[in-house]
Amino acid sequence: MDFKSLVSHCKEYGFIFQSSELYDGLAAVYDYGPNGVELKNNIKAYWWQSMTQMHDNIVGIDSSIFMHPKVWKASGHVDAFNDPLIDNKDSNKRYRADVLIEDYCAKIEGKIKKDVTKAAKKFGESFDEEQFRSTNGRIIDRQKKIDDILGRMGNYLRDEDMVSLKALIEECEIACPVSGTKNWTECRQFNLMFSTQLGNIAGEEGKLYLRPETAQGIFVNFLNVQKTSRKKVPFGIAQIGKAFRNEIVARQFIFRMREFEQMEMQFFVRPGTEMEWYEQWKATRMNWHKALGTPESKLRFHDHDNLAHYANAAVDIEYEFPFGFKELEGIHSRTDFDLKQHQELSGRKVQYFDPELNENYVPYVVETSIGCDRMFLAMISNALQEETLTNAEGVESTRIVMKLPPAIAPMKAAILPLLKNDEALVKAAKDLFGEMKKHTKVTYDEKDAIGRRYRRQDAVGTPFCITIDHQTLEDGTVTVRDRDSLEQVRLSTKEAKNKVLLETQLATLL
Ligand code: ATP
């Protein structure tokens, strides 16, 4: 399904609405509707349980969005949390300079892919993509060009060399997609933190920031948590919460928002062991994604070309969104940078006494950081499909179906009386609904013909439809329709209930 249809499906079926739509919306801010909030809560529950329930050495916290302003000085966000910005003078549109360059490279990559697809068609089964890429002259040149441009861009970003960054845009002859001109302003750094003001303190002193990441709430609570939970290094602290970034370019729906939610886990380890843990967390996190049934071909690791000021190793887990492979999650070896900085700026010791080594040290940190909203988008774009069905008479029809893992789906089952005018059927269906809703999320629907009701449930990903018909009144059995296989089985109401509970629980993923 194309991206535009996905966005309208999300609105039509109550997954995502633009914020303040009545007032024509607020750019890059979105609200989750009735189905959306259920799906999002299920994603969070899966992450939370994977972290805090499946690991006895990880505990959770919920820290505040507002923090002491010095936190952001210590973390480096006040001085260095910038994106390079550039304006087109004719369209007055604003862009991230690095994104313009990346998009330019993605176009070249697109050309490479076209050549590969063509060749694959031509050579058929015997086609060896790797060999083709490494021997085809045109592809080699194009790949070299991409590597050169991205390599230089990385250096300029690291050195904050805005003049060379602009020169690179000019060298690539990148034009504004809106005006079509190359009439650019200078490139300059733009800090992504939103700020606000405390009511009782005037001026700089009272300046507060909305947190741009949840991680710092974990770092400043390191000692509180370690002492009260009596955890020994290595151990982790997990948190889910809102983060805010004044993104320059707000595009691609909920992929890049100004207000979003992060699921972060900081794992504190002995200095010198961080690389082992980094490798371990890379594998653990990739398995977490695979357990959802996401095809392996849609997931890949991407090592960071230039490391952030705090990291000694960093990798992204990228997902193939409808607009290409993009970062879904980051895994970073953050060294002892943050804890040391907080130690310095607070003037307090932030150290751990290791009873086995009999020494004090500032632990090293390996973090896993994933955007809940990006995960939501990845899930929806993988699950939402338009399917052609052929019935017993050979007649074709199409259906829109959201093949979400049952444990993540907003509703676990729909209870449907075959006819809404038949009191006995309605009563039996409502009785079952009343019983099942105590155990899990179910929905009741009696409007329209049964086929249309099935389609409605398919469109929001409900894994099971339980239909109550006249036979139910005779022998207490119901039909259970499977969303994906479309198979219908007759079971007793008790069996149907147990099947739904068993097959939709989070344990199927953990
Ligand atoms: P990007 O390069 O896409 O701006 P980032 O490298 O700045 O992302 P991190 O600081 O590593 O992102 O944040 C961790 C995770 O938080 C990301 O992997 C992503 O899933 C999520 N995230 C970051 N910024 C946003 C945003 N503006 N909207 C939604 N999710 C975001």
Contact (CB, 8 A) for 211 and 217 = yes
330 CA distance to ligand 1 centroid (A)? 8
Q: Is 262 in the pocket of ligand 1 (CB under 6 A)?
A: yes
Pick the residue whose CA is nearest to atom 19 on ligand 1. 371
Rounded to an integer, the average pLDDT of 53-78 is 96
The predicted pLDDT at position 309 comes to: 73
Q: Which residues pair with 260 in a beta bridge?
A: 243
Its pTM stands at 0.90
Contacts with 307 (C-beta within 8 Å, 6 or more apart), sequence order: 313, 314
The predicted pLDDT at position 402 comes to: 98
The predicted pLDDT at position 281 comes to: 98
Q: Is 375 in the pocket of ligand 1 (CB under 6 A)?
A: no
Number of continuous H segments (helices) and E segments (strands) in the chain: 17, 23
Question: Which of 190, 251, 262, 366 has the most ligand 1 atoms within 8 A of CB, as the residue to mutate?
Answer: 262
Q: What is the pLDDT of residues 290-331, one digit of tens each?
A: 999 999 999 999 998 777 777 889 999 999 999 889 999 999
The predicted pLDDT at position 173 comes to: 96
Q: Is 259 in the pocket of ligand 1 (CB under 6 A)?
A: no
Residue 83 CA, closest ligand 1 atom number: 4
Per-residue pLDDT for 111 more than 90?
yes
Q: What is the pLDDT of residues 459-479, one digit of tens each?
A: 999 999 999 999 999 999 999
Contact (CB, 8 A) for 299 and 290 = yes
Q: What is the pLDDT of residues 257-283, one digit of tens each?
A: 999 999 999 999 999 999 999 999 999
3 CA distance to ligand 1 centroid (A)? 20
Per-residue pLDDT for 250 more than 90?
no
Contact (CB, 8 A) for 435 and 497 = yes
The predicted pLDDT at position 310 comes to: 79
The predicted pLDDT at position 158 comes to: 86
Nearest CA-CA partner of 238 in 263, 210, 212: 263
Per-residue pLDDT for 443 more than 90?
yes
The predicted pLDDT at position 205 comes to: 76
Pick the residue whose CA is nearest to atom 21 on ligand 1. 371
* Confidence label for 248 from pLDDT (cuts 50, 70 and 90): confident
Q: Is 77 in the pocket of ligand 1 (CB under 6 A)?
A: no
Residue 371 CA, closest ligand 1 atom number: 20
For 250-272, give one letter per residue: b (16+ CB within 10 A) or e.
bebbbbbbbbbbbbbbbbbbbee
